[in-house]
Structure 1
Amino acid sequence: MSSLKQQLPFLRLRTSLVLHLREIRAYSAGLKNAGESERKKKVLIYGQGRSGTTLFEHLMCSTGHFVGYHEVLNTVTREVVWPIHYIRGLGRQFDDENIILHVKPNHLGQDRKRPVNVRLFLKAMCEDGWFIVHIQRKNIIMKMISNYLAVARGGYHKTDDKEEKHVLRIPPQEFFDRYDNHRLLLDEENTLLQGLPHIKISYERDLERTECHQQTIDKVLEELGLEKRTVSTKLKKINNTSPEKLVENLDELHKGFLARGWEWTL
């Protein structure tokens, strides 16, 4: 353990240097003429979630059409200086590579020391030829419970069939505050995308059930003018337990929602 602690500063420094060099290369590639890569497909996933957006990216990459770049503006390690120029450059680096990546609203706003105008960002991406896929999970209560579960188990993704048992006790006031914030964010996302070309994907309708995966990706590939191919993913659904068994104080949360006049969607 002590050896690992000694290595951590070096590992952080190395990671920072690698990401810094990647950022510089992207800025350099962004100076290329856009026409040189106009035949390639560039997909930008926009949305709050993590499980649905990651699943969608995995499914798209499983067709062999795309290379996945994941959350390119994640601020955990370092903050990209110029997000628009950075993503523009990623899209122009390799002329023969279709790419797909994910941008979360908070990676442009609240998580940054220097927030970006999200509307201008999305508009710039459209003008640069990016195809925006807006993924939303409408059942905010289940989305939030999933977030609490991910924290409890130490991860948002699962690739095995091992049975997991978790029982959550969720702080009521924290839950209510986060719910109210999520409602505002969903409305804000829709407003910011008004008038911009994009396609909407519903987590509940298009991604939650395995039997919907193929038709969802087929629809997107058709929009992009790409050949339809069989999709697959190693990702497994984390929670198959009913909310009543998963959250021990669910009744307390339910009563709090009713007292505030909010719709209970479980």
Structure 2
Amino acid sequence: MQILETLKEKSKFIRIETLKIHKLAPETRVSSSLSPIEIFVCLYYGNIINFNAKNPEDENRDRFIISKGHGSISMYPLLADLGFFDKDELKNVCKDNTFLGAIPDPIIPGYETINGSLGHGLGVGCGMALGLKLKQKEKNVIVLTGDGELNEGSNWEAIMFAPQHNLDNLTLIIDYNKVSMLDFSKNIIDLNSLNKKFEAFNWDVYEIEDGHNVKEVYTTLNSAIKKRNAKPKVVIVNTIKGKGVPFLETHSLSHILSIKPEDIDNLIMEIENAK
């Protein structure tokens, strides 16, 4: 399928551009931003999500809330590539007089909400989904969280709320990279059997075994988001934190680590040459 080749190429492109941004702005959370790249790519380049780059607040858009905002710097090159803003802005990340900071906010075209404090995105998404249903608008609300973020109690209030109100226009995507800020997630709060937890709360559950396989990500997200059966949907995406950077992929502190500038060029060459 041509679409899968496009998604592979765009994933490689976004991974390289994310590393370039991190070289310019080492304060960005690079590990968290590398794990959801295929999710972002499939949603936008796979035409799963409805958006309008020239009018980001178009009433006919789907709403995409990136609750793990710090871990979405990889959205910057994607949004620029799609025409939400000028590509030259990517040279200014974290500099004075730019709207592209280390933690995104709604001043950036393409972002819906303030994403600095974890645990609020799903609740906001529930409100948007309920509002759209009451207005009888057939639009999707998609929320991306990290797995460590699920330690926040506010998420579980939303998880109880959504099925009671039959929010089948709501899809939660969990970037399940299994590393929190200061350790492996299992050593802080073990989310083992996460699928069973959501089933118990009456969610429609999907799981992606390899969150870096664009075929699996594209097929599952496309099916889940479009489904309407009076239940909210959750897609648990098994990813690797720091994907593409070997020393980050296995490090318990990858969330707060930076890559040395002199190493980034070598990493980019390896990614470019990978089949």
TM-score category, normalised to shorter length: 0.3 to 0.5
Structure with the larger helix share: 1
